[in-house]
């Protein structure tokens, strides 16, 4: 029974995975301490805004944002190394609509 359930769960994942592929793109990496100096500089003035952890990979994703200019930077941090994944000057925040609890 467990094998049947596992097979049912894996089939949709495998079907979706066929539509995806890898893209190679240059990624700039360096010491996380140096990265903090750069984004904290008075001209950039970005502050930590969001963090997500990947416990399996022992890494964190961080978004830094300047509240005045909306400039943002996305990095992945593994141990003491930060890798720049993206940055920009326009961002949007999405919220999910609240549903009423009807009984």
Residue 33 lies in a domain: yes
Is 13 domain-assigned? no
The tokens for 78 are 């593994």
Split at pLDDT 50, 70, 90, the class of 6 is: very low
44 CB contacts (<8 Å, ≥6 apart)? 38, 66, 71
Domain membership of residue 74 (yes or no) is yes
Determine, yes or no, domain membership for 10: no
The neighbouring-strand residues paired with 20 are none
Query: What is the token pair recorded at 92?
Result: 């949007």
Report how many domains make up the chain.
1
| Contact present, 61 and 52 (Cβ < 8 Å) | yes
Give residue 93's pLDDT.
81
**Residue 4, pLDDT above cutoff 90:** no
| Domain assignment present for 96 | no
Q: Is there a domain that residue 103 lies in?
A: no
pLDDT digits (tens, 9 = 90+) for 12-43: 555 555 778 888 888 999 999 999 999 999 99
Q: What pLDDT does residue 14 have?
A: 52
Domain assignment present for residue 95? The answer is no
Note down the domain range covering 41.
26-88
6 in a domain, yes or no? no
pLDDT value at residue 65: 95
């Amino acid at each position: 029974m467990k094998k049947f359930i596992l097979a049912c769960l894996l089939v949709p994942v495998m079907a979706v995975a066929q539509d995806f592929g890898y893209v190679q793109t240059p990624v700039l990496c360096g010491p996380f301490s140096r990265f903090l100096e750069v984004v904290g500089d008075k001209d950039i003035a970005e502050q930590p805004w969001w963090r997500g952890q990947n416990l399996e990979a022992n890494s964190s994703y961080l978004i830094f944002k300047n509240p005045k200019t909306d400039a943002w930077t996305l990095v992945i941090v593994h141990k003491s190394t930060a890798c720049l994944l993206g940055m920009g000057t326009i961002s949007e925040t999405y919220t999910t609509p609240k549903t009423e609890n009807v009984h």
